[in-house]
Chains A and B, each alone.
Chain A
Amino acid sequence: MEITENKIRQYLLGSLSQEEIELFDLQIILNAALEERLLLAEEKLMEDYLEGTLSTAEKELFQKNFLASQERYAQLNQLSLLKNYAQKNLGLRGSANLTGENAALDLKPAERPTFFQKLKNLISTNLPLTATVTVLTIIGLILGLFIYQKGRENMGAGDEVASLNQKDLSDLSNYKNLSSLSLISGSFRSTAAGSNNVLKKDAASEYFLLRLALPTINNQNENSFNVRISAEEKLLARLDHLRSYNNQNGQELRLLLPSSHFQRGTYKIEVVPEGKNDVPFIFSFKVE
């Protein structure tokens, strides 16, 4: 019997006659070189299964006979993972532009119709449908924007503050355009430019950065802190497990806060090293 790729496939699916199976089996035992062809055929079969190109009958045989071992099941999973990863990360469409053997692969997306060409094609094929979809999309966008704005308004200060401060604030250059206050515990700080504990509401950016200088306790630097922000004894926001950042003088906490939630008034910030019941460091700032 000639061992063709089609016969190998049928063998793997278990759809050969008994006589053919026996001939195949003996070839597998005797001929080590057949192994590579079988391995590649297995992979091709698995790819076809994942891509949904097996016929109904083949699919049933695949599930019943081929996926009979844990190893094949694991292989299928890994192949699925790899294909999804490759398609997400490369996401090429069409042909690749490839160079010679020793050169690095140089892959470019194929030439695509321009946006305007695609739009023109779309509009010309089905005008009423396109118009309906366009109108619905615009309405949807307007509604979505409205809901988002409402959501932001309804979101408590606490939730928004917590959400903002999950970011890594190490790189201050990302925030150089924001209003910023630098505070020292227990007192107001004045700089050459004037008091730095007052936020001018009208001139404030959408978010502002608070930098809280942390004293060193017993010559040790703590790394994680719990923070409470309040106004007139009313708790506005609570942040746990905040990390500290190094500055030229030691350590500081950095808080990114939404200006919209801070009306005119005085605010108090209590900072306690995590896991300790120490007297908190108290900071305060004003919004005017």
Chain B
Amino acid sequence: MKKSTVLRQEDFDNLLAWLAPEREEAGRKYEEIRQGLIRLFRFRGCNDPLSLADETINRLATKVSSLNKEGEYKTITYFYGFASKIYLEYLNQRKGKETQLEMVSPLLNKHEVNLVENDNENHQCLDDCLAKLETRDKELILTYYSQEKKAKLDLRKKLAQSLNLNTGALHVRVYRLRLTLKKCIEDCLNKK
């Protein structure tokens, strides 16, 4: 990837003015687009989606004076165009690193996935973090993940019914609990 683009104040002001005549509205649009770009890079499986989103904005900002907002192209299309280019650069850079790794270790199978063994530290942190949840939440999350395949689907359906939720809402509830656990485990591992 090219060297990061530094955003000057002048370019930033031009960008906001380009987004909307009112600065407050421009700021709101800026933030919406930024969050959208972060989502894009994150779901494309990129490491550090924040930096890639900022780089997209910075590059566009330096070119904003030459962009035509009238006509057939919407604002978002320009952002997407720059984001796509940055994504390709990111892929090339990643490919280059993988090639270097392969040269060092020709036996490295990049398709091989080696999950970390459930070592004591991870296990201990999970234990500690589960203990911090409310009892009902802990039971919910453990029950939710206690089965596999068809039994899992049946259990989750019953679980949702018992909580007067649809399965989608149950997924969301459990997912949010997982996020809490995830943060707790990361903090715990960092301390160790």
Q: Which residues of A contact B (CB under 8 A)?
A: 11-12, 22, 25-26, 28-30, 32, 34-36, 38-40, 42-43, 47, 51, 53, 60, 63-72, 75-87, 89-96, 98-101, 104-105, 107
Contact = CB atoms under 8 A, between A and B. Distances in A.
A60 B139 CA distance: 34
A38 B155 contact: no
Interface stretch (B19-27, B59-67, B170-178): B170-178
B181 A82 contact: yes
Contacts of A70: 47
Given A92-B143, A92-B147, A104 B33 contact: no
B159 interface: yes
A38 B36 CA distance: 13
B139 A29 contact: no
A87 B39 contact: no
Given A30-B36, A78-B181, 14 more contacts: A25-B40, A26-B77, A26-B80, A30-B76, A32-B32, A32-B39, A39-B175, A40-B171, A72-B45, A79-B178, A85-B127, A86-B142, A92-B146, A92-B147
9 contacts: A11-B43, A35-B39, A40-B175, A51-B148, A65-B45, A67-B45, A83-B145, A87-B147, A98-B158
B135 A104 contact: yes
Interface string B122-162: 11001100100001100111111111110110110011011
B113 interface: yes
A271 to B, nearest CB: 33
Main secondary structure of the interface of A (DSSP, over half): helix
A80 B164 CA distance: 28
A86 to B, nearest CB: 4
A38 B43 contact: yes
A26 B136 contact: no
Contacts of A65: 45
A29 B142 CA distance: 34
B28 interface: no
Interface in B60-98: 76-77, 79-80, 83-84, 94
A68 B45 contact: yes
Contacts of A25: 40, 44, 80, 83-84
B154 A86 contact: no
B116 A90 contact: no
B37 A29 contact: yes
Contacts, number: 153
Contacts of B44: 25
Please classify how large the interface on chain B is, using the bins under 10, 10 to 19, 20 to 34, 35 or more.
35 or more
A90 B39 CA distance: 35
Contacts of A42: 43
B7 interface: no
B57 interface: no
Contacts of B172: 36, 40
A209 to B, nearest CB: 32
A95 B155 contact: yes
B99 interface: no
Contact of A86 (B118, B146, B163, B171): B146
Interface in B170-190: 171-172, 175, 178, 181-182, 185
A89 B116 CA distance: 20
B107 interface: no
Given A71-B47, A86-B145, A96 B155 contact: yes
Contacts of A93: 151
B46 interface: yes
Contact of B115 (A30, A76, A104): A76
Contacts of B149: 51, 53
A89 B43 contact: no
A77 B80 contact: no
Nearest to B164: A101
A29 B146 contact: no
A68 B49 CA distance: 12
Interface centre among A11, A67, A92 (most CB of B within 10 A): A92
A77 B116 contact: yes
A152 B99 CA distance: 56
B111 interface: yes
A54 B122 CA distance: 26
Given A85-B123, A86-B143, A80 B36 contact: no
